[in-house]
Amino acid sequence: MSSVGAGFRLARAGWVLVREGVIAALPGEELSGLPKFGWQLARLFTRRRALAYERSDRLAKAVVRLGPSYVKLGQFLATRPDVVGNDMALDLAMLQDKMHTFPRVEAVAAIEASLGRKVGDLYAEFGDPVAAASIAQVHAAEAIHDGAATKVAVKVIRPGVRRRFFQDLESYFLAARLQEKYIPSSRRLRPVEVTETLAQTTKIEMDLRLEAAALSELGENTRDDPGFRVPSVDWERTGRDVLTMEWVDGVKMNNIAGLEEAGHDLKAIAANLIQSFLRHTLRDGFFHADMHPGNLFVEANGTIVAVDLGIAGRLGKKERRFLAEILYGFITRDYLRVAEVHFEAGYVPRQHNVAAFAQAIRAIGEPIHGQPAETISMAKLLTLLFEVTELFDMATRPELILLQKTMVVVEGVARTLDPAFNMWKTAEPVVGGWIAGNLGPRGMMIDARDGAKALLTLARQAPELAARTDRLSREIDLMAEHGLRFDETTARAIGKAEAHYGRSGRVALWVIALTLVYIAWKIL
């Protein structure tokens, strides 16, 4: 029955997208056959007033009408331009803070249930909401610290949002499975895996203790960094459904006039923003992955304060080296080295030719060297690079796509502050410093130390590994003698899973068919 419900919810979502003109706003003139017929049918059922809106406005109205879980889906897909395309990703990124607030009394109930204390005992004052997003809203409040009242920001989870999201999540998985089954060309994008990533990231985002931990970690990493920080967390007043943190007094970075009026040096802020992001990415391997200007404040002394760390990105040492060597290789026009890094990291299958891949990369790099540095977009370069890697069977790597998306946003913010912003000159001290420290003699010594530690750990585990190898050898001998066998429970579980998958597909097709019959009946 859950599959039936998921099918109907999916059909309803499609109907809302049609009525609000989202489907009609897509470029359909070049389509042919059944897809073009569907596009024309969608235009027929579009509300007349929706035709007057821009595509981004239509999308925002449709997603808000569908509810918080679809707003979160849109925001998540905005981080995956490889899946939805760059233009659609930019439209989806506009969904920030589009939700209505919920009553103060419901926020109070959520806080008291989460912390087990009365709001009056926790806060000297607790005000009305000042901002609302898909999963939570923020209230201004005052807390008593060391006998003095301190202004704080209190983030509270929306009532019922978890139940609503996990219901809609069934629809997302159904759509992903149908896409993989009936659109083979989309399998490279791994739609089911993308949906699983959405489910995991949202589970994390819906536990505000984990966001508090991310703020704490980024705060420790940036404690000594010039001109950048994150709000401190009040752990006493933080739980699964509530996060209390320092109130930030500053000008939002999307308020250019306000920044100028406050006397800030916009060029210095732009440079600080880019260098801070690259420092977090390369040095720490942990970065704020939702750095749109609404989440960035500038304090009176010019310090950038980043809030809302619900989405964070992590890069391992291999990925950090990958990024640094790519950027440095393009700067020095060493395209063969850029290609070799892709193969060394295992991103491009070995059956491809390194020299041919280097040739494809040269086609991206050479045109940029004839342009002024301030016109060259690092984010666009990475976008083109990922497009080329598709030709060489490089599978989608979510951590790199999230990095690319964040770099697009951060670079866009920097160019808004300073239209003549020179990305490469600004990035060189951070990228060059990281390469000198990690790929030079010092880096070789660090690698040798890490290798020695790994060997020591392996030596300590040698007896256990030997015992496991002996057991595995005996099991392989038994398999060779008697063949591979499943026990009765495993066989029954496999059969049940296959039957359920088949039923889900048939139910979804029936729901879609009934929806089309209903639409045809409406036309007649």
Catalytic residues: 290
Query: 455 by DSSP, 3-state: which?
Result: helix
CA distances to 7, 68, 70, 115, 132 from 137, in Å: 30, 12, 17, 17, 4
CA distances to 5, 21, 23 from 39, in Å: 25, 11, 7
- DSSP classification of residue 280: I
d(CA 418, CA 400): 26
d(CA 6, CA 504): 10
CA angle centred on 410, ends 430 and 90, rounded to 5°: 150
d(CA 340, CA 240): 45
Find where tokens 């979510």 sit. 398
| Cβ atoms 252, 296 nearer than 8 A | yes
367, two tokens = 């045109």
| Cβ atoms 195, 177 nearer than 8 A | no
Residue 16 class from Cβ within 10 Å (0-12 exposed, 13-18 middle, 19+ buried)?
middle
The alpha carbon torsion through 133, 136, 142, 146 (nearest 10 deg) reads -130
CA distances to 131, 243, 268 from 304, in Å: 20, 21, 11
Residue 302 Ramachandran class (φ > 0 left, ψ -120 to 50 alpha, else beta): left
